[in-house]
Structure 1
């Protein structure tokens, strides 16, 4: 099992979840130091490789803003990061896959219910969801699915002060039917399910604590 971006946040939780399933785990990241830290956490059986790709964390930087105000360059950079980053990664992986392989991408709840100022991220996430449906047909019998998380407590918010982050999470949690913010482990099991269920393809698993309902 290869987890691109498996050094922190959801990616690291996914790597741990597959390790707990006794899978051979390979993690990839641009950061050698993060790879070393993650490998220590995951155990010596984990393989780690440096890979130059754009992470989901980078995709969110500068992508929020009203459509009329957000520079086009910011929108293009966000697409390059999250959409084209995953697109290119799938292309690069194809020679190593077989008919029993499974691919799972990551989009986000903004593709279903965008708040004000999230038109760019809504477009990116919707594009990923559409790509998955197309790939499920083009690459069959390889299975292709997507996990669509809501707000998750990950290092993507590390640029905020702890107080700011706590206030934001508290406000959002009060709006959600589940009454709390997701942790990476809440999301990770969906990737395991999609890898193990051989009859699931072209599907989007929405894990947002009910955000699309409010």
Structure 2
């Protein structure tokens, strides 16, 4: 019994010396494990770089989809333009169809006012002008759809104090369904006059022809559509 105890005591005391091969084996195992872990993370990192998470979460849009989107967008734009063009063509056709119906009268002492001739040349054949009127019940007044009245230089035959403004006021009050446009080279004349408020439109005499034509088209369509 005694020799065995002494042998055990020797083994316990000299554990690191006697069992060095166990220690080396453990160290080698730890080193190998460390290298294995590093190698694992390295490979995993490379795999992540080659296949980023964003590409999984947000996959690349197919080129076909992009092309389809662009084609559909262009088609929609072309459709809108086509619709607008069709509406414009339809409006033009309507205007052409009423040109022979609309009666237009200019009451202006300027016999050379170029807008009158320009409207006739544009197809509005029932456009006429007078330098003044002696009554608002004469046939030419009754048959007129659109009046253009110069506020200066007319109304003398009716002894109108405010000239064309008085005529315009009488026309609108007598024929509320007719269109009355007043114009003048001096649009500040008698600014208090009621005609400025009840007439359909106010225009400068030196306005471009297109403004007169646009009003004729607008009111013509309202009256005959």
TM-score interval, normalised by the smaller of the two chains:
0.3 to 0.5
User: Which structure's residues are more often helix, by fraction?
Assistant: 2
Choose between structure 1 and 2 for higher RCO, CA contacts under 8 A separated by at least 6 residues. 1
Compare CA radii of gyration and give the structure with the larger one. Answer: 2
TM-score by length of 2: 0.32
